[in-house]
Amino acid sequence: MLEKRHGSLFLPSLVENFTIPIQWHSIHEKTVGITNEEIVQFVKGQLSLVSLLRSVVVRSSSLTLIDMVRVWLATRAIDASSTGIFDFRSRLIGTEMSFPDGSRAVQFDQKTYDGIVGDIFGSVEIRKDAIRLAIYNTTPMLGIGSRVARVIEQLGGYIVFVGNDDVLYDGLCELTGTKERLISTTSKVIQSLYGCTDVETSEILRGDLILRLGKLFEKRYLPY
């Protein structure tokens, strides 16, 4: 579910529902176009420095000021011929819901979405790693481990266990494994997604890598 509060979408919810790495997002009400060329031109226009600065106040955006400058520089070189557009507006992948407090959210049909996306975002490098990953949720919040597992599996990861750990980890998350495993592509992708602390070990574990989700990770799903 994409939680909505004061017009701002939670970025972690986007990542968990779309099961792909998302560095930033911005919401627009205008028609963005149909062809690649039209959409790229719209993006360039909306991501002008003036438009980006305005989005902080009048539109929902996850961009910081530094992000804005980086995105603006990156979008100057967008080539429509090499850009992939994934338009889900005409696909029945979600239903908008209203809650008693007046807030609104979109409930996605994960099965339908996964069927559409298929293997588009799967990483050949991660599949070649064939690293067995065990995920432990150390928080009281249910379902966090399964959400993370779905993201990693969609990217080509191999999940061998998802469960709970009674010993609470106070940090964001920690990734435990041998030195060799911690420098693997799988480990690098997990780090880019979640920014976990590396813990090197030579012990025999339940998986090649152990991912423990902690107290700060739980806050990704709590209201501001």
Tens digits of residue pLDDT in 173-209: 999 999 999 999 999 999 988 889 999 998 878 899 9
Q: Are residues 101 and 14 in the same domain?
A: yes
Is there a contact between 214 and 139 (Cβ–Cβ < 8 Å)?
yes
Domain end: 87, 110, 133, which one? 110
Q: Are residues 86 and 172 in the same domain?
A: no
Average pLDDT over residues 102-106: 80
The residue segments making up the domain with residue 57 are: 4-110
Q: Are residues 55 and 153 in the same domain?
A: no
In a domain, 115, yes or no: no
Q: Are residues 212 and 136 in the same domain?
A: yes
For the stretch 11-67, pLDDT in tens is 556 666 677 666 666 665 566 677 777 777 777 776 676 776 666 666 555 666 677
In a domain, 119, yes or no: no
Q: Are residues 99 and 167 in the same domain?
A: no
Q: Are residues 103 and 148 in the same domain?
A: no
Predicted confidence at residue 6, as pLDDT, reads 37
Q: Measured at the alpha carbon of residue 120, what is the angle toward residues 63 and 111, in degrees to the nearest 5?
A: 90
Average pLDDT over residues 151-160: 90
In a domain, 105, yes or no: yes
Q: Could you tell me the two tokens for 120?
A: 């588009």
In a domain, 116, yes or no: no
DSSP-derived 3-state class of residue 55: helix
For the CA atoms of 45, 51, 57, 62, what is the dihedral angle to 10 degrees? Answer: 60
Q: CATH no. for residue 180?
A: 3.30.70.2390
H or E element in which residue 163 lies = strand 158-164
Q: Are residues 90 and 24 in the same domain?
A: yes
Predicted confidence at residue 224, as pLDDT, reads 44
Q: Measured at the alpha carbon of residue 9, what is the angle toward residues 81 and 135, in degrees to the nearest 5?
A: 90
In a domain, 62, yes or no: yes
Q: Are residues 30 and 87 in the same domain?
A: yes
Number of domains observed in the structure of the chain: 2
Q: Are residues 93 and 64 in the same domain?
A: yes
Q: Are residues 150 and 81 in the same domain?
A: no
Predicted confidence at residue 89, as pLDDT, reads 62
Q: Please name the residues in contact with 161: beta carbons below 8 A apart, sequence gap of 6 or more.
A: 134, 135, 206, 207
Q: Are residues 95 and 21 in the same domain?
A: yes
